[in-house]
Structure 1
């Protein structure tokens, strides 16, 4: 008997949370507490007042308890997981569908269009108590138990990820098994066939991120570290890091080429235009998306003079649009993401206010940014914008897990902008994605494939 998909997929991962926030936005609901029950947000707020020496181990144990028993990996059915993602949307015909890599900027764009998003990668947390600094032992564990998952799911690849810098608390209590579909799941194909309006385009989010890996098997790779504040070479130079012998799509963000081809093939066979959105890492889409939503907000009668900066999963696409704010999503509170925000502020018309969230992962990781760093960037490059850090106790960062429960207060206190409710049109989005030059000096869409391929 296969496991319930809700017990398989991590509740704290980019894919699961960004998907759930997209579902909430399309159904007109707020998204507090990262989609968890209110009691979880309230508990985080209360617990955040404990000293970190007490709270840290508790936080790690609670997070680690989400890991599934490695003995049950053979009972994981990722086709059911795909069906649960597709089935979360409430039916009807949609003007477009986004599919592929996790990307918070593009899920905000999907919300503005009234379009679903389906992820190509999901995280299965597997219970494993170990030493966060011993990546070699995590590799041994994955080599032992990973085949159980792969034998039951021939259409996925396993990208085990061990990040002792940014996930140091969690990898001591679990193994991160990120799985990527290597074909288009049947449930996704059925959803596309049933849910797309005639002539509606499919937006394929194709993240070209790669990472050096240790090859464990044909469909199994082990990755030390991940995109954020530390480079691949720095991770590989750490003690006990296994030697890399191959390169693979980055575990969390990178696209599986087989999955991308499956989407292309489906569009060619079913007469729907495919729009390839090609990014090199999760941050690249944020500036173009902010510009698109800002223009759309003004077209609907808004001032568009307020910027909201979500951080990783800390944010609410539907509520951001409800209050008439412009989103600039950051993938993590690290220097490279702050550099992207700086680029946007320097290359956009001035904002009056900037409200920035900082995801709290509880780790003093290299090249993380502090609340003071964020304020200084906004005040230096925001051309007079006033900087707010709602939901955060700045003196407790990066340990302020109560931010998970507090960000809902920011949105709930803001009035509705009462703008024209017409969604963003796909033709306008495709044209804008092909014309706005981002921080890498290129556009995200260079060619649009029609249904003939």
Structure 2
């Protein structure tokens, strides 16, 4: 395994100074995972490895350990995590981080904590080949392009319910893909409540065939800062619906400083369901062919 310690005052606010966040990643597939794949892969099946290729400055420690300040998920760049940045200084003041020391600018850029270990790919391909299965990889440097491609996949290949096209924009932990599919919705996921993520969702909806209904679930991050999408921004996204656009009332009332339990998204989507049963699963090969059509998008590659 490798361990990445992530110190992020933007995403974790005051908790950043009171807890330690560790990301544990497998260098090789565990035996249980290999046995699982061997028992579930019939000949002719398809395996897809998905990797985030974004990089971030990482301070190397002992073998297998790295330390990074900030994360690409937050919507802030590495150089912005500095006391000389007025916006970041204001954020630090709100969370009581006055003793901040700027990170060393001479560290090496490596794959961020959101990425898996590169060594998993050849091992996964070898297991797939042993079982007569086909391996593909989906690599992205822009998570918004990935979200758009997946949402387009579901809209194209899943039947709409009574002609009522319904999109749900989930944010951070405010998502439940299975419940969204059970509800007959097209799921679009924002990895955080950053302004960049909200703008990408808005552009995707504006460029798509209109949805009759749009539901938006903005996760309150627990702190307000300059790169955060505002509540009016989320409401403008919902307003792109042809008939009914809504921002969840509980989340809107808590946004942005009062976090909500992740289970709230499950309850919301369950009550919004218009489908009586889960739709048929999309065959893997068909899903890969559809996603490959988005291979020309900047920041996304399917091979």
Q: Does the pair score TM above 0.5?
A: yes
Q: Do the aligned residues in 1 keep the contact of 2:165 with 2:211 (CA within 8 Å)? A: yes
Structure 1 residues 197 and 432 mapped into 2: Cα distance closer, same or farther (>3 Å)? same
Question: What does the per-residue CA deviation read over 1:255-299, in whole Å, with 9 as the maximum and x for residues that have no partner?
Answer: 21112332233223443211111111433311111111112223x
CA distance, structure 2, for counterparts of residue 393 and residue 422 of structure 1: 31
Aligned 1:43-54 pairs, distance under 5 A: none
2:49 matches 1:201: no
Comparing 342-351 and 416-425, the one that deviates more: 416-425
1:250 aligns with: 112
Post-superposition CA distance 1:26-71 (Å, at most 9, x none) = xxxxxxxxxxxxxxxxxxxxxxxxxxxxxxxxxxxxxxxxxxxxxx
Shift of residue 173 of structure 1? 2.0
> 8, 15, 38: which is aligned to 1:170?
15
Structure 1 runs, 4 residues or longer, greater than 6 Å off: none
Alpha carbons 1:433, 1:443 under 8 Å: kept:
no
Cα shift at 1:217: 2.6
Asked whether the equivalents of residues 170 and 218 of structure 2 are also in contact (C-alpha less than 8 Å), the reply is yes
- In the alignment, the residues of structure 2 paired with residue 262 and residue 437 of structure 1 have an alpha-carbon distance, to the nearest angstrom, of 24
Verify: 1:229 aligned to 2:90, yes or no: no
Change (3 A) 1:237 1:262: farther
TM-score, normalised to structure 2, is 0.85
Equivalent positions of 1:182-201 (< 5 A) are: 182-201=27-46
Q: 1:342 aligns with which of 202, 218, 222?
A: 202
**Structure 1 pair 426–373 and aligned structure 2 pair: CA distance change class (3 A):** same
Q: Distance in 1 between matches of 2:299 and 2:243?
A: 27
Shift of 1:304: 5.3
Deviations along 1:140-169, one digit per CA (max 9) or x if unpaired, are: xxxxxxxxxxxxxxxx11111000122122
Alignment of 1:68-83 (within 5 A): none
Closer, same or farther: CA 246–232 of 1 in aligned 2, 3 Å: same
Task: Return closer, same or farther for 1:414/1:245 CA change in 2, 3 Å cut-off.
Answer: closer
Alignment pair present for 1:436 and 2:294: yes
Structure-2 separation of matches of 1:240 and 1:377: 38
For residue 412 of structure 1, what is the aligned residue in structure 2? 270
Kindly indicate whether residue 284 of structure 2 is the aligned counterpart of residue 426 of structure 1.
yes
C-alpha distance after superposition, 1:151-200 (max 9, x if no partner): xxxxx111110001221222222111111111122221111101122221
What residue ranges of structure 2 are gaps of 5+ in the alignment?
85-99
Aligned position for 2:257: 399
Instruction: Report the counterpart of residue 184 of structure 2 in structure 1.
Output: 324
2: CA distance between counterparts of 1:359 and 1:165? Answer: 14
1:386 aligns with 2:244: yes
- Any idea what SS the aligned residue of 1:165 has? helix
Pair 1:217 & 2:62 matched: yes
- Residues 1:361 and 2:230 aligned together: no
Aligned residues: CA RMSD: 2.4
Does the Cα contact within 8 Å between 2:161 and 2:275 map onto a contact in 1? no
SS class of match (2:50): strand
Residue in structure 2 matched with residue 120 of structure 1 by the alignment: none
Matched residues, number: 286
